[in-house]
Structure 1
Amino acid sequence: MADLFAWLLSFFFVIGVLGIILFQLMCLVDLESDYVNPYDSASRINKAVMPEFITHGSLCLLHLITGHWFMFLICLPYSYYNFRLYSRKRHLVDVTEIFNQLPWEKKLRIFKLVYLVIVLCVSIFWMIWTIVE
């Protein structure tokens, strides 16, 4: 039963990170469509960056504590990438350079989105496997 609870918690963490990434992507699309100014878009994205990092770090730690080594190894590169961004102080979007970096930031968020959808599918598979077992 504890294993099932861990998978459910993992599922909700992944859904939370997916929601944060989708929010950031929508802010970038709104900026590209000129619905919002660069300052508002950058401040919204920057407010969502740390919760994304913390939630995904918690997900990685959850898999480590519960002994789900495969999922931990799947989540580790994303956590390492987030740690590198934070340690180099490149995790925040710059207001003055947001238009120049817009295509790159969108590609980055889409890559993160695809990666997290794969993690979600694997997590759902293991959760169902645990229920059936």
Structure 2
Amino acid sequence: MAGLFLWLLTFFFILGLLCLLGYQLILLVDLEFDYINPYDTAARINNVVLPEFITQGILCFILLISGHWFMFLVSLPYLYYNVRLYITRQHLVDVTEIFNQVKWEKKQRFFKVGYLVMLFLFSLFWLIWNITEEDD
């Protein structure tokens, strides 16, 4: 039962990360089509960047202490990338440069979404595997 709870927890953490990135992508698309001003876009994106990083860190920590090494090692590059962005202070969107960086920011977030979809599918596989093993 603990294994099932763990996989449900990772499933929801990854789903939460996908929602945070989806929100950021929607804001960038709105900015690109001039539905929202750059100041509001940058402020809203910057408000959800740290929760995204913290959620990813918690997810990696949970996978590490539970001993799920494969999932931990697969999610580690994403955590390293986020830590590197935070240390170099490139994690926040600059209001004055946001129009010049919209394509790069969207590309960066689409890559993160693709990576998280892969993690999501792995998590879903292990969740289903764990459910079927407990029935036996």
TM category (shorter chain) comes to over 0.9
Matches of 2:56 and 2:26 in 1, distance apart? 20
Matches of 2:88 and 2:109 in 1, distance apart? 19
Classify the secondary structure of the residue corresponding to 1:96: coil
Residue 111 of structure 1: aligned partner: 111
**In angstroms, what is the RMSD of aligned CA positions?**
0.4
- Tell me, yes or no, if structure 1 residue 93 matches structure 2 residue 79: no
Give TM-score, length-normalised by structure 2.
Answer: 0.97
Matches of 1:132 and 1:66 in 2, distance apart? 20
Number of residue pairs matched by the alignment: 133
Residue 80 of structure 1: aligned partner: 80
Matches of 1:58 and 1:98 in 2, distance apart? 29
- Tell me, yes or no, if structure 1 residue 29 matches structure 2 residue 29: yes
Q: Which amino acid aligns with 1:55?
A: T
Matches of 2:131 and 2:98 in 1, distance apart? 45
Q: How far is 1:27 from its partner?
A: 0.3
Residue 58 of structure 1: aligned partner: 58
1:1-20 to structure 2, matched below 5 A, reads: 1-20=1-20
Classify the secondary structure of the residue corresponding to 1:58: helix
Any unmatched runs of 5+ in structure 1? none
Classify the secondary structure of the residue corresponding to 2:99: helix
Q: Which amino acid aligns with 2:51?
A: P
Per-residue CA distance 1:27-70 (angstroms, 9 max, x = gap): 00000000000000000000000000000111111100110000
Give TM-score, length-normalised by structure 1.
Answer: 0.99
Q: Which amino acid aligns with 2:100?
A: N
Per-residue CA distance 1:97-133 (angstroms, 9 max, x = gap): 0000110000001000111011000000001111111
Matches of 2:32 and 2:106 in 1, distance apart? 10
Matches of 2:129 and 2:50 in 1, distance apart? 32
